[in-house]
A and B are shown apart, each in its own frame.
Chain A
């Protein structure tokens, strides 16, 4: 082990230096000369055999190892590295370092917000990853012809030893994903068949045209299949511990709760990328520890805790600060089997009681846009979003439900039979951290003025997730939480959080409603909203992006009125990098290893 040899070699070198010192002293009798020998010994320990060269942004410098928290905000330790069979982001984030996927994405546009670079979510810039290019699409958007890159090889590590990736490898990876991944719901719902049509050719046929196919099925930013050699994938023990893929980084080691290490893949199809020799993703979580290490320059960068936003910027003034592109999106959600929230007026009143801009301002957290603004039900993707405050004219009359109006909120509550307001237990979990706690308190304080008296009940994560989160909410209660962290396409939010046929929908009553039973007449839940259900299906099958965006905006307008969930401001994630980290092209979490880290280089 390299680290082991470091200490003991230092130790023996020190011993050796002392011997040299004695020898040299004995021979020359010159103490000064002897000290010089000791100095030489120590210099050898420095180990720097590369000469620094002057570089500019335009001339990337190869070498160096990036060190920083892999995730940053939570424990970061993956339960397993078998990313094909694990859905948690803790297992998906490492996968993008050592695995390829069918497609990847180029960086989105950036804009300056309050002196910080804000990265926008824009997945129009699709590129081939395992595949040479974006696929040929035929038959009205149902057939996708992929061609695997000619120069794509698995890592030169036993047992695959650098063999070429074939279409059969891709199909086998997909087959395992479709059979065993807890994230296979979309795949099963959309994909009809996968066929190998040549050594490097693969055809994927969908059941229906599917608008967000690139993002949701093939790009893996929402948990699609990774390309993994069968030698690894078929052995769950190996897949969970020592992954081998064809991505830009070769997995080196995983010390649970400590670090995951990767080395540069010298045979990467896009050589000379990656520029850095290695990446050390620390599985550390404590924000104070992260701050101390950034301050003392032992970390090169990190995802940043939103509740330390101001302090971080003042203590790390030299840092390069970014916000987004991820926004943790959430809201208040209900059990429609029980009063009072089965009455749309109560939900509308709650929405109008919340002072969203005031909360964002008071929390002094990084400013979010899109989904993080608390002004949408469905979108973290700016292209599909209308701002109901600043673009109220385009949004239409339902924009008023996002504007704070305490008088109107009280009137609605009174009309619903609660002139004196209502007492609510707001259930959530303590796992989301102090920043989330502050947000909920701000929401609670804000809503109180209109008559919503919330008692916050933060429970243990597992218990909360298996009850409240899935709609098992008591009559006097609501749920409050981030409901979905990863999806960047509105489709996944609609079909995971809201759709009645989604088993994990975040409203009560708990449990999936069979598609054949929809819509349900006179049902006070989304299962009874025939127009909205039709819009949801229509947007999924619309392959023209502009037309789909128009449909999604109609979905927003409809949901602004029904308020099946009352969104409130989420946290916009932030990142900080040391000044010597160059060429930072942030895209989003799951793709960081292949889309961002691969382009970065170190100027130190």
Chain B
């Protein structure tokens, strides 16, 4: 087990480094840099103002922004050197610290993703299990249809429709107390500042994001449960006269959940990418909004910072999933 752990842990660092190098390279392929944007957005006579002057004003240079050769590696090396010392660099325009901004944004996205995962699991796992043990009944058909429904509806549409619908709560004659919970507060409050307002803001996007995850988790849970329920040791448990609850909870669920657990690990990436859209619709100041703005404004340092965090999060989560998986299923580490 220790060997397996070390081998997998050693892969985490080069994977994250490789991703950051790839990101740096891909950013160079994007057309236009921050100076191009400022130059083009300028609304006044520009005869006496060149793009090079704007680059000087911003304190950026070709090596940092425009190089498509070895300069990329120099830039990446310098940036990674800073990151190793906890310095993620600064925004070109505002000189705000990217690290400081990440510090503010990461908790928002983590909270959204965590809540979404929680909602998806409390929907998907019981539904999947019940659907399997009541195979081909009305309950099963309803649950499967619901899972298809959840898979088919994109989160951005659900998010938009949410506001279309809850915007009318007053028309339905609902009391103010319910309306306050339906319509998220217009100004974000973090959980330590105002937990109640924070939850009022978070529950709807988390639920919507959770739906996207719940559909696939529910379907996999159901199929795994069906497979396990047909195993010899489960048949043996039935033949011993054990109650259904005991058979399902003690003998079937643990083995059925191993692949499901792995799927959840993989779907962490969906949570992070899904949060990009929902953060915008619900006005949550998380990593997603930060990334969209940074890409649009060609704030490369900020883009690199966000993507490093996301890459590290995904790689580490998958590493942890592998570890837990190997604990649950010893065959993995000997493979």
Contacts and interface: CB of A to CB of B under 8 A. Distances in A.
- Most A CB contacts (10 A, CB to CB) among B164, B290, B296 go to B296
A431 interface: yes
Given A284-B283, A293-B183, 11 more contacts: A7-B197, A80-B93, A88-B41, A237-B95, A240-B93, A282-B187, A465-B36, A467-B32, A502-B46, A504-B39, A515-B47
B186 A67 contact: yes
Interface stretch (B50-58, B110-118, B249-257): B50-58
B146 interface: no
B187 to A, nearest CB: 5
Contact of A1 (B36, B40, B188, B193): B193
B195 interface: yes
Interface residues of A, number: 75
Given A257-B283, A503-B50, A496 B43 contact: yes
Interface string A487-515: 10000100110010111100000001001
Nearest to A506: B40
Contact of A185 (B30, B42, B280): B42
Interface in B280-332: 280-285, 289-290, 292-293, 295-299
Nearest to A311: B164
B45 interface: yes
Interface string A128-161: 0000000000000000000000000000000000
B8 interface: no
Contacts of A180: 57
Given A182-B38, A466-B37, A486 B186 contact: no
B95 A236 contact: yes
Contacts of B54: 182
A295 B38 CA distance: 37
B246 interface: no
A257 B197 contact: no
A95 to B, nearest CB: 14
B283 A465 contact: no
Contacts of A6: 194
Interface string A283-319: 1111011011101101100000000000000010000
Nearest to A74: B296
Nearest to B302: A79
5 contacts: A185-B49, A222-B43, A241-B96, A462-B36, A465-B41
B179 interface: yes
A302 to B, nearest CB: 11
A185 B183 contact: no
A3 B193 contact: yes
A79 B91 contact: yes
Given A182-B57, A293-B183, A495-B45, A255 B188 contact: yes
B38 A87 contact: yes
A4 B190 CA distance: 9
A476 B274 CA distance: 37
B130 interface: no
Contact of A512 (B47, B194, B292): B47
A293 B186 contact: yes
Contacts of A283: 283
B46 A504 contact: yes
B31 A462 contact: yes
B31 A240 contact: no
A223 B44 contact: yes
A462 B42 contact: no
B45 A502 contact: yes
Contact of A462 (B37, B45, B47, B197): B37
A4 B31 contact: no
A186 B281 contact: no
Contacts of A431: 296
Given A465-B36, A466-B36, A296 B96 contact: no
Contacts of B290: 256-257
A75 interface: yes
Q: Can you list the 10 inter-chain pairs with the closest CB atoms, starting with the nearest?
A: A466-B32, A80-B94, A292-B167, A288-B163, A7-B194, A463-B31, A257-B285, A466-B36, A495-B45, A79-B93
Interface string B88-101: 00010111100001
Given A7-B196, A431-B296, A258 B283 contact: yes
Interface residues of B, number: 63
Given A183-B44, A462-B37, A502-B47, A282 B186 contact: yes
Given A75-B293, A285-B280, A7 B193 contact: yes
A268 B283 CA distance: 33
Contacts of A486: 43
A160 B326 CA distance: 63
B166 interface: yes
A462 B32 contact: yes
A363 interface: no
B104 interface: yes
Counting chain A CB atoms within 10 Å of each CB, the highest count among B160, B163, B166 belongs to B163
A82 B92 CA distance: 12
A112 to B, nearest CB: 28
Contact of A298 (B37, B39, B49, B186): B186
B43 A258 contact: no
A535 interface: no
Contacts of B32: 462-463, 465-467
A79 B58 CA distance: 13
B298 to A, nearest CB: 5
A473 to B, nearest CB: 14
A185 B170 contact: no
Nearest to A293: B186
Given A79-B299, A284-B186, A465-B36, A255 B45 contact: no
A394 B122 CA distance: 72
A515 B48 CA distance: 11
A206 B133 CA distance: 86
Interface in A1-60: 1, 3-4, 6-7
Nearest to A259: B187
Nearest to A463: B31
Given A79-B297, A256-B101, A462-B31, A3 B189 contact: yes
B186 A299 contact: yes
Contacts of A185: 42, 44-49
B235 interface: no
Contacts of A259: 187
B283 A503 contact: no
Interface string A560-584: 0000000000000000000000000
Contacts of B167: 288, 291-292, 295-296, 315
Contacts of A284: 186, 283
B160 A495 contact: no
Contacts of A77: 289, 293
The residue in A82, A180, A293, A466 that gathers the most chain B C-beta atoms within 10 A of its C-beta is A466
Contacts of A495: 44-45
Nearest to B34: A462
Contacts of A504: 39-40, 42, 46
Question: Most chain-A Cβ atoms within 10 A of its Cβ — which of B30, B42, B195, B293?
Answer: B42
Nearest to B31: A463
A55 B166 CA distance: 33
Contacts of B57: 85, 180, 182
A496 B104 contact: no
Interface in A56-88: 67, 75, 77, 79-82, 85-88
Contacts of B36: 462, 465-466, 470
B141 interface: no
B134 interface: no
A96 to B, nearest CB: 16
A461 B30 CA distance: 11
A280 interface: yes
Given A296-B167, A296-B183, A466 B40 contact: yes
A271 interface: no
Interface string A181-206: 01111101100000000000000000
Contact of A499 (B45, B91, B281, B283): B45
B95 A87 contact: no
